[in-house]
A and B are shown apart, each in its own frame.
Chain A
Amino acid sequence: MPVNTIWVVAEPASGGITTTSLELLTAARGLGSEVAAISWGPATASNAPLFGEYGATTVHDVGDLGGSLPGVPVAAAIATLAGSGAPDAILVPASYDGRDIAGRLSARLDRPVLTNVTGLGEEGSLVSEHPVFGGSLTVKSRFTSEAPGIFVIRAKSFAAEPAGGAPAALAALGVPETGATGTATITASHAEERTGPSLDEASIVVSGGRGLGEASAYAMIEELATLLHGAAGASRAIVDAGWVPYSHQVGQTGKTVKPAVYLAFGISGATQHLVGMKGSRTIVAVNKDRDAPIFSIADLGIVGDVHKVLPALIDALKNR
């Protein structure tokens, strides 16, 4: 059965749409003959040319959510739309709101979800790829349920490439009554100040882990990142400990990064960390334990103390 219609949930981000959403649109147009986007927020109409460029012929605009978390209203709107003609597949970015939308939609439509998808292909039907055990194995799956199949796809699984299509046609998509489910509201938003390139896009990422010993040592990670014009990242251990904000986390529940160089200081290399950085072009690791799993994928491994290597490295770069 060929794949015809694919819907892509496209998340708004500061006036545009997220890079992951553009990646999903690019993948969708390679797999289906008809691609539509579903988006929300004030900028959807002005983004119609962008949606078109990446292959969507229509963008369904859910409009202003008025402080609601997106999960409930967006899923309810999509479910209504699916009621008058379901697509073959719905692609959702693996983000906070994306997972909420996919979960809500799955229960509403009574359709299963395939999550942690890093690849999609057409083999008679859509076949998805999922990394397991830290990315050492790939599981290939498909739905046996009736359409639509809901796929939650990780960032950087596909390249985002414009195809030069005409602006997408805009269609308003209303939100049905959601009762008690839709009552969670955002009362305030806090954004951290970050300077330099973003973690997702930096060509050099310098990350620190519990091996730094204490929160104040993270300043060395930031200093090194600045010297290398890169971004500072972290393992979940030090995010949970409150040393650095969550937005620095690399890994399964954090960001996926694929820089030219990834430097890991005092990070053991747990499977959940590896899936977020294994795609880096080169990897440098400093760890005092020769058996740390991070060394099994490092192009250069230094068995040593971060408190010696980091200051020396910062000095050496300053003196260049």
Chain B
Amino acid sequence: MNVVVCVKQIPDPAAPPSLDPETHTLDRSGKLILDDSDAYGVEMALQLVDAAGGGEVTLVSMAPNSETGGLRTALAMGASKAILVSDPALKGTDALGTAKVLAAAIRRTPFDLVLAATESTDGYTGTTPVQLAELLGLPSITFAKSVAIDGSTVKVERQTEAGFDEVSSPLPAVVTVTAGVVEPRYPSFKGIMAAKSKPVDHVTVADLGLDGQVGFAGARQEILDVIAAESRDHGEIVEDDGDGAARIVTFLEAVKAI
């Protein structure tokens, strides 16, 4: 059982985000880390390969710079190897362009299943994995809260508005996982040491034959303006001296909620 996990390396979400003043896109020039959302896919993949009794977890990632810090984190968790598509020409690439890059990179390695997160922390379009599935000619199941393999079938509990559906699909397939799917492990010291020598295959846009289809031009969309949204002021913030509940009751009465 070979599983490919799409993992995104992103600017640290704990640091205040900023927009590139020229392009109005998210400034991704600093240090990049593993998107926390993708740690779930990595863990799920490791567990599935383990349950199948053999196989490999391969990471596939795309970024304008050749940073590998986030990939090393996922390799330290236990993934075997990584393919990193990095190229300055990728700056400004949209979700469809990203899917084209990921599809071309994934075709370079054998796989039974592709995992991704339902949405990335910094881009959150949630469409990349489905676009990827279409480009690979594969079925997809999004919003998985559990994933199991049964022979050559993947069985998923998929979140819905009202509850969840049981969905199954033949392999190979693309599945997106939520943050509730499994609890990611912390890399062990041994894992961190081992990750340093695991192979990371650096690939360029030209290697994939995608010149002209990516970057700002390939995105075929433009940001016209960034404006301050209507701001919302706060009211009274008070310490609870035992009167907190009474204050809420008074407030609810004042707004005629009770």
Query: Which of A96, A106, A203 has a CB less than 8 Å from the CB of B161?
Result: A96
Q: With A278-B232, A296-B234, A301-B237 in contact, do A113 and B226 touch (Cβ < 8 Å)?
A: no
Bound-complex Cα distance A44 to B225 (A):
39
Tell me the interface secondary structure of chain B in the complex: mixed
A180, B139: Cβ atoms closer than 8 Å: yes
Contacts of B240 in A (CB 8 A): 286, 302-305, 308-309
Q: Tell which of B170, B223, B228 touches A136, judged by Cβ atoms closer than 8 Å.
A: B228
Beyond A99-B127, A302-B244, 13 extra complex contacts between A and B, CB < 8 Å: A69-B158, A103-B133, A116-B124, A136-B229, A137-B226, A139-B24, A180-B137, A180-B170, A181-B138, A185-B168, A241-B180, A261-B257, A301-B237
Contact A286 B244 (CB under 8 A): yes
Please give the number of chain A residues whose Cβ is less than 8 angstroms from any Cβ of chain B in the complex: 93
| Docked pose: A139 CA to B19 CA in angstroms | 11
Q: Check if A137 sits within 8 Å of B227, measured CB to CB.
A: yes
Q: Across the interface, do B127 and A301 meet the contact criterion of CB distance under 8 Å?
A: no
The answer to the question of B206 belonging to the interface, with a C-beta cut-off of 8 Å to chain A, is no
Interface set, chain A 282-300, CB cutoff 8 A to B: 282, 284, 286, 290, 295-300
Taking the nearest CB of chain A, how far is it from the CB of B116, in angstroms? 11
Question: From residue A59, how far is it (CB to closest CB) to chain B in Å?
Answer: 22
* Interface residue ranges of A142-196 to B (CB < 8 Å): 142-145, 152, 179-192
In contact, B247 and A99 (Cβ under 8 angstroms):
no
Of chain B, the residue at the smallest CB distance from A104 is B134
A100 in the interface (beta carbon within 8 A) = yes
Partner of B130, one of A103, A186, A260, A317: A103
Question: Which of B54-62, B65-73, B77-85, B91-99 has 4 or more CB atoms under 8 Å from chain A?
Answer: B91-99
- The contact of B221 among A138, A144, A203, by CB within 8 Å, is A144
Count of B residues near A, CB < 8 Å? 77
- Point out residues on A near B: beta carbons under 8 Å: 13, 69, 71-72, 75, 95-96, 99-100, 102-104, 106-108, 110-116, 127, 131-133, 135-145, 152, 179-192, 203-204, 228, 236, 239-242, 245-247, 252-253, 260-261, 263, 278, 281-282, 284, 286, 290, 295-305, 308-309, 312-313, 315-317, 320
Please tell me if B15 contacts chain A, counting CB pairs below 8 Å.
no
Q: From B1-9, B196-204, B248-256, give the one contacting chain A.
A: B248-256
Main SS of the interface on chain A? Answer: mixed
**Are A139 and B244 neighbours in the complex by a CB distance under 8 Å?**
no
CB distance from B244 to the nearest CB of A (A): 4
B129: chain A residues at CB < 8 Å are 103
B180 pairs with A239, CB closer than 8 A: yes
Measured between C-beta atoms, what is the minimum distance from A93 to chain B in Å?
11
Which B residues from 121 to 149 make CB contacts under 8 A with A?
124-131, 133-135, 137-143, 145
